Structure 1
Amino acid sequence: MRVLITGGGGFLGVKLAKALAKKGEIRGREITHMTQADLFAPEPVKADFEVEGVALDIGDRASVDAAFAAKPDAVFHLAAVVSGQAEAEFDIGLRVNLHGTLNILEAARHAGNQPIVVFTSSVAVYGGEIPDVIDDFTILNPQTSYGAQKAATEMMLTDYSRKGFIDGRGLRLPTVTVRPGKPNAAASSFMSSIFREPLQGESANCPVSEDYPIWFSAPRTVVANLVHAAEPPAEAWGENRCLALPGLTNTVREMVEAMTNVAGSNAAGLITWNPDPFVQKICDGWRAHLKPEKALRLGFHQDKSFEDNIRWFIEDDIRR
């Protein structure tokens, strides 16, 4: 089995590549080759099979077609422009999140081998005049350009699967925290930085109120769910190929308290609380209470507490 990961140089892409390298198979078929693709060729992970890093601009159709020349059997499409940038730079978000994903779907279609396509969507597809608690049948009503781009490509993923071009699986990711590295242009970036930086002895600002609720999941859990997404048979997904992944809901205050329970009180003292109306407005359009019954029925994993997220960040990703 040949595997392609777009966004394969990002933090989730690298963790996913390592998890697949360790697992060594998908649906009982041995992985024989894996490609990590990103804007700049990533350093390939170590595995018992061949792994290559290649440069790929998903907004360029010729580049995408070249990446599909070898007919990958499983595609994990993680590449995207993040929420804050997609809102501030509409054309870039449109090029990457909408047209780039359509390029992936078209290349997968014309490869002719009906590959598994696991696509990372977002809970940003929800918003507006919908119930406070979201279930599997809640309509998509995004209130940001990022959410609209993700929602549009969700529809096409399901249609390409209905037509038999691909075997698609769309995952609406909760906010992934605690992310390693540095802050990015995502409106949700602070949801990692207010824990990551203080745990590393640095200050960080929280731009929203401390009673803001967050639907979140740990990197370990999200990677496990990405791997699992390729496993259930097509018929188990039914007519809608996209779903919300399990997560947990805490307020910012509760998450800071969980960090204090694990790591002591010093870290919390490094958080400042200066509001940012731009970030608050975007975040206010997101929903934080979900009932992902279909995902749980399909065997996807759920976090138990934010304290685990803090422990796993210290074990896996903290800068030492």
Structure 2
Amino acid sequence: MRILIIGGGGFIGQKIARSLAASGTLRGETITHLALADLAEPGPLEAPFDVSRHATDIGDRASVDTLFETKPDVIFHLAAIVSGQAEAEFDLGMKVNLFGTLNILEAARALGTKPVVVFTSSCAVYGGEIPEEIEDWTALNPQTSYGAQKAAGELFVTDYSRKGFIDGRAPRLPTVTIRPGKANAAASSFMSSIFREPLQGEEAVCPVDADYALWYASPRVTVANLIKCAEIPAEKLGEQRGFALPGKVATIGEMVEAMRKVAGDEPVNRIKWEKDQRIYDIVTVWRPYINPQKALAMGLTADNNFEENVRYFLEDDIRR
């Protein structure tokens, strides 16, 4: 079994890589090679199988073709220009999120082996004039450039699968929190920073009101679900390869109170509430109430509550 993780230098890509290194298997087969690719060459990984590391610009087809000389059986496509940056830099978002995804799908098609492709989509594909609670069959209606690019990628994953070029699956991720590291250009970045920084003794700014509700999942559960997505038999996926991953709904205020229960008043007192209209306008078109029956039927899972997410961060990712 040969695996490729595109976006392998990011925190989700690194967590998937470490999980695969620990298990040594995927889809019931022994892993023999793992290729990690990102815009800058990912760091080293200790594993019981061969690991190669690649600097790749997915917006450049020749660069992608060179990467696919690793001949992967399973591809995790995690690379993206994040929401806030894709909205501010439209051309860059199109180059990476749309045309980069097409380059990956075409390279996978050229292998001629029908590889499994796990394309990480987003709950940003929902929005506009749709019911308050989203079902598996709810039409996609993104209200940001990032959401539109992800929705287009989903459609191509489904069509390339229908044609037999790949065996694709396009799970729509909830907002993943609490992320480690530093804030990035994602409009949702504050949904980690308002917990991460206070738990590490630093101040943070919340740019939305306490009653803002979001659909969330912890990194630990997200990684487990993405690996499961690679292992789901094609017949269980059906004709529609895009589907929402399970998540939980909570308001920012409820999440802050969950942090208080786990870590006390001190981290909560480090949060400053200062509305940012640019961020507010992006995140408030995302819909939080999702009924992921297809994913649940396939054995994918959600966190139990946000207190659990805080504990996972303290166990797995807090800066020490």
TM over 0.5, shorter chain: yes
Distance (Å, rounded) in 2 between the aligned partners of 1:73 and 1:185: 32
Deviation at 1:70, TM superposition (A): 2.7
Deviation at 1:44, TM superposition (A): 2.6
Superposition RMSD in Å: 0.6
Distance (Å, rounded) in 2 between the aligned partners of 1:156 and 1:214: 27
Residues 71-119 of structure 1: per-residue CA shift (max 9 Å, x gap): 2000000000000000000000000000000000000000111000001
**Percent identity of equivalent pairs:** 63
Q: Does 1:295 align with 2:265?
A: no
Distance (Å, rounded) in 1 between the aligned partners of 2:309 and 2:175: 12
1:4 partner letter: L
Deviation at 1:68, TM superposition (A): 0.8
Aligned to 2:111: 111
Aligned to 2:50: 50
Partner of 2:120, secondary structure, is: strand
**What 5-or-longer segments of structure 2 have no aligned partner?**
none
Runs of 4+ in 1 over 2 A off after TM superposition: none
Deviation at 1:24, TM superposition (A): 1.2
Partner of 2:246, secondary structure, is: coil
> Taking structure 1 as the reference length, what is the TM-score of the superposition?
0.99
Matches within 5 A, 1:22-101: 22-101=22-101
Q: Does 1:145 align with 2:153?
A: no
Aligned to 1:133: 133
Aligned to 1:272: 272
Matches within 5 A, 1:173-188: 173-188=173-188
**What 5-or-longer segments of structure 1 have no aligned partner?**
none
> Taking structure 2 as the reference length, what is the TM-score of the superposition?
0.99
Partner of 1:117, secondary structure, is: strand
Q: Which moved more, 1:8-17 or 1:24-33?
A: 24-33
Distance (Å, rounded) in 1 between the aligned partners of 2:256 and 2:103: 41
Matches within 5 A, 1:153-164: 153-164=153-164
Deviation at 1:214, TM superposition (A): 0.9
8 Å CA contact retained: 2:35, 2:70: no
Distance (Å, rounded) in 2 between the aligned partners of 1:35 and 1:84: 29
Deviation at 1:173, TM superposition (A): 0.2
Matches within 5 A, 1:174-253: 174-253=174-253
Distance (Å, rounded) in 2 between the aligned partners of 1:23 and 1:150: 30
State the aligned residue count: 320
8 Å CA contact retained: 2:206, 2:273: yes
8 Å CA contact retained: 1:245, 1:292: yes
Partner of 1:227, secondary structure, is: helix
Deviation at 1:59, TM superposition (A): 0.4
Residues 278-313 of structure 1: per-residue CA shift (max 9 Å, x gap): 100101110001000000000002110100100010
Residues 146-168 of structure 1: per-residue CA shift (max 9 Å, x gap): 00000001000000000000000
2:17 partner letter: A
8 Å CA contact retained: 1:259, 1:307: yes
8 Å CA contact retained: 1:71, 1:113: no
Deviation at 1:52, TM superposition (A): 1.5
Distance (Å, rounded) in 2 between the aligned partners of 1:215 and 1:70: 36
